[in-house]
Amino acid sequence: MKPGHVAIGAALVGAGALAALWVPLGLVGALALLALLRICWLEDNIVSDLFGRDRLPPGYRSTAELRRLFFFRWFGIDPEDSGAEQSAHLLATAMRAEVQIWATLLLGMSAALVAQNGLFGPMVNLAIGAALFVMALTRADRLALSLVHCDSGRPLPDHMLIPSRRRVLAARKR
> What range defines the domain where residue 20 resides?
3-54+96-173
Residue percentage of the chain with pLDDT more than 70: 88
pLDDT for residue 106: 94
pTM score of the predicted model = 0.82
Question: Euclidean distance between the first and final Cα of the chain, in Å?
Answer: 35
Based on the structure, what is the number of domains in the chain? Answer: 1
Lowest mean pLDDT among 47-56, 76-85, 118-127: 76-85
Between 173 and 151, the more confident residue is 151
* pLDDT tens-digit map of 89-136: 888 888 899 999 999 999 999 999 999 888 888 899 999 999 999 999
Q: Is residue 22 part of a domain?
A: yes
Q: Is residue 28 part of a domain?
A: yes
* pLDDT tens-digit map of 7-45: 888 898 999 999 999 999 899 999 999 999 999 999 988
- Sorting pLDDT into bands at 50, 70 and 90, what band is 82? low
Q: Is residue 128 part of a domain?
A: yes
Give the DSSP letter string of 83-138. Answer: GGGT-HHHHHHHHHHHHHHHHHHHHHHHHHHHHHH-SS-HHHHHHHHHHHHHHHHH
149 neighbors 93 (Cβ within 8 angstroms): yes
pLDDT for residue 111: 94
CA 31 to CA 151: how far, in whole Å?
28
Q: Is residue 25 part of a domain?
A: yes
